[in-house]
Amino acid sequence: MIRASTRGVGPLLALFTLLPTSASASGFDEATGKVVLDDAALGVGFEARDAFPANVKLAALSAFAQPLPSYAVDELFVSAPGDAIEGDGVFSMGGRTAAVFLDLRGALDQLAGRRIEVRVWQRAKGTRAHVALVWYGAGADDVLAGDLIGGVELGSVLFQPTGRLTQDGWEEWSSGPVDARMGTLDPTVLRVFDEQLFGLQSGTADYDSTLRVELDGLEVRDLGEARVPDLACRLVDEDTTCGADGLCLYGRCVDGAAVMGGIVEDSELRSQYLERRIFELRYFEGGRYPLTQIDLFEPSLRSQMASDATARSFRSALAIAYQRLADGHAAPPVTSLRFPVANAGVCIHMGEADLMPTVESAPLVFGAQAGSPFATMLAPGDVLISIDGMDPLDWAPLARRYSAFAGDPAARTFVSTPELFEAALKSGAEITFGRCARTDGQRCNVASVQRITIDLAELAQEVWSGLPPAWLTAYLPCDFRLNSAVPGANDHEYAYAATRSEGGVQYLQINGMPDQSLPEGAAWKTTVTSALTGGPERVVLDQRLGSGGSVTAVDHLAGYLTPRSDFYAMNLFPQLDRTLDATLRNQLVRCDRQSSFTKSCASFLDWPLGAFSSSSSRAGSARVAVLNGADVSGNDFISRILTFRSLGQTRIFGGARSYGAFGVVWRRPAFLGEIAGGSFQVHDSVFLRSTSDTNLDFTTGRGVAPDEVVLQKQSDAVQGVDTVLEAAKAWVMQ
């Protein structure tokens, strides 16, 4: 991504104090002014640790994820007869005590098959508690010991404010209704973080160890029978088998709230929340094409204001709305710490199935990680024929909620193909591959195609026994390269850059565009400089895992390859309150040049090529082959700038357009217990060939098209040959 600012976009417009209270709220004794937990299925006061129910245990971690000794934990229980909302004591955490876990294993056995709600009161003393009910498939003990990523988190529900609060600062927070049992698993822990951790992690805030938050009055309420049936399922029959509240996870119906995050329960607050998110898109989104898409998906968001909306429909609508925006920097709010991507070490990409009886584009296996059961089942060149009996590309829309792609719609099929296997695995699909064992380049007939059918639900069934296999959460970075142009041990990593010279061709492989003020960016810059400073005549630039980055890296690389006579500048415009014309542009440019890049004029950025780099166009006359795959933001910019080259020839090879994310990404504020508020692009860009160029053509949402559309051939894959790389090498040597 291109980064220039992390400014937020304003507060939530809701006033929680005006919300109606819930009929299932905890009791309140008006005579004592205290919450009463008598009707709770499980109640936890915070007078002392030894006063906890027998099956509830507590673990606390420091800001450095180190377990606190027993005496330090006991000191967190504070006697406060006049201040506590329940009983005579409160639990004071935050700051040096950054994480607390209530181990619930064995405490909720009586609620199997029931629908529950968990509530807790908190009072901010400079910070707030971020609370979640979590289901771990394995590794809970590791998490409680300080390995926060050591558990296999299958589900979690974030707490939200209920609207009940007191004049002295106590606020009630709730999980919302959710089925207690997730498949065969009961809730494992109640996880409480100092919310400062998320600001620290995202780089938007410092961490103040002196701040505190108090907890009190925890209760688990029995709301009746579970909503979601415990049945086997496939994604294709999810609606009929699992019902509106359920979804299919590893072949089993579970509550959608536990997988995708809960719905905003109060209908008034949900309407305000969605209005706020729509407002952000309409008034802060910078992409001009994305702005035209809002009217197309706004009705689906507004439909979630209705009383029959469910967690699954609500979170799916949000996820798909941001995808349909066609803003490659857009992402929906984050509501879970579950492992975000798990492909079991299998990579599939769109290719040309030229060995099958009918030659067509189809998902091809590029590789399977050693240790995964698929390593012995699948081989490069195997073709994904069906998912749940459907053509994979017809099945894909059913799994749209699992997709993270939000760029140029024309690139969706190509770029999001690797997500198909991830979605099939998560849903527990039955998948079928076809294999042609011929190595002579001739097609197999129907009878000679070997079919490999894998029931992913059956393969993953151990997840429900509390012993999920290690491969289930494995991730093999899938980067659209069958072979790297410049291989290295870490050639999938973001800051990777490597170069080599062979046969008169300079090969340069990059992934992201790291900020050159950082150590990883400085090393990247050194590699790019060494590759291009000698003025090579032929260059192969392999950026098929183009994850974006900083303006400094874009400027440095583009500056070597592009003469200033071929390309002048980029103008990055935020959303404007008037029509852009030459006069307004000139005013903004003059304003910006009187300021600085970090203090720009009305968020407008004038970016002449070379503004952030001293690199000269030493390779400006080179014949340059560019290999694109999934290229966003900074890598988008490189592709676009190189299309202006005329002194040297340029040819782009790839399977589809780049993302078309031509602008700066901003984070959006998190509301209602969200871990992160998501992101959007605040600019759109106009590319200028010269100082006299008067075009006002915005580019976001429409990526750079390849000059030569090349897909990996199945016949090459079975022999370990990278079709795209070979095509680029052949052209650059002409």
The predicted model scores a pTM of: 0.90
Residues 6+ apart with CB under 8 A from 404: 331, 419
User: Using CA atoms, how far apart are residues 99 and 180, in angstroms rounded to an integer?
Assistant: 23
Laid out side by side, the sheet with 346-352 consists of 450-455, 430-435, 383-387, 361-368, 346-352, 712-713
Q: Which two tokens stand for residue 410?
A: 């024309």
pLDDT score recorded for residue 596: 65
Q: Comparing C-alpha atoms, which of 220, 213, 122 is closest to residue 176?
A: 220
Positions in the chain short of pLDDT 70: 1-26, 202-204, 337-341, 596-600
Strand-pair partners of 599: 596
Pairing status of strand 650-654 against strand 623-631: parallel
User: Using CA atoms, how far apart are residues 654 and 543, in angstroms rounded to an integer?
Assistant: 10
Q: Comparing C-alpha atoms, which of 464, 510, 462 is closest to residue 486?
A: 510
User: Using CA atoms, how far apart are residues 428 and 422, in angstroms rounded to an integer?
Assistant: 10
What is the SS3 assignment for 558?
helix
How many CB atoms sit inside 10 A of residue 249's CB? 26
pLDDT score recorded for residue 641: 98
Q: Which two tokens stand for residue 617?
A: 């166009």
- 369-399 as b/e, with b when 16 or more CB fall inside 10 Å? beebebbebbbbbbbbbbbbeeebbebbebb
User: Using CA atoms, how far apart are residues 367 and 118, in angstroms rounded to an integer?
Assistant: 44
- State which amino acid sits at residue 337: L
Q: Which two tokens stand for residue 575?
A: 């959303």
3-class SS string, 257-321 = HHHHCCCCCCHHHHHHHHHHHHHHHHHHCCCHHHHHHHHHHHHHHHHHHCCCCCHHHHHHHHHHH
Q: CA 350, 354, 359, 363: dihedral to nearest 10 degrees?
A: -20
pLDDT score recorded for residue 17: 31
- Cα 554 from chain centroid? 23
Contact 251, 233 (CB under 8 A): yes
Distances (CA, A) of 581 to 486, 571, 605, 690, 694: 45, 13, 16, 17, 9
DSSP letters, 168-215, are TSEEEEE--SEES-BTTB---EEEEEETHHHHHHHTS----TT-EEEE
CA–CA–CA angle 677, 680, 682 (5° rounding): 130
pLDDT score recorded for residue 477: 80
User: Using CA atoms, how far apart are residues 150 and 137, in angstroms rounded to an integer?
Assistant: 11
Domains and CATH numbers, the chain: 21-226 (2.60.120.260), 230-478 (no CATH), 479-566+609-661+703-734 (3.90.226.10)
User: Using CA atoms, how far apart are residues 713 and 193, in angstroms rounded to an integer?
Assistant: 49
Phi-psi region of 421 (alpha: psi -120 to 50; beta: other; left: phi over 0): alpha
DSSP letters, 635-688, are HHHHHHHHTT--SS-EEEEESS------SBEEEPPP-TT-SB--EEE--EEEEE
Residues 6+ apart with CB under 8 A from 23: none
CA–CA–CA angle 394, 254, 390 (5° rounding): 15
Length of the chain, in residues: 734
Distances (CA, A) of 607 to 22, 549, 592, 645, 661: 54, 15, 10, 18, 16
User: Using CA atoms, how far apart are residues 92 and 76, in angstroms rounded to an integer?
Assistant: 5
How many CB atoms sit inside 10 A of residue 255's CB? 31
Q: Comparing C-alpha atoms, which of 661, 658, 651, 649 is closest to residue 705?
A: 658
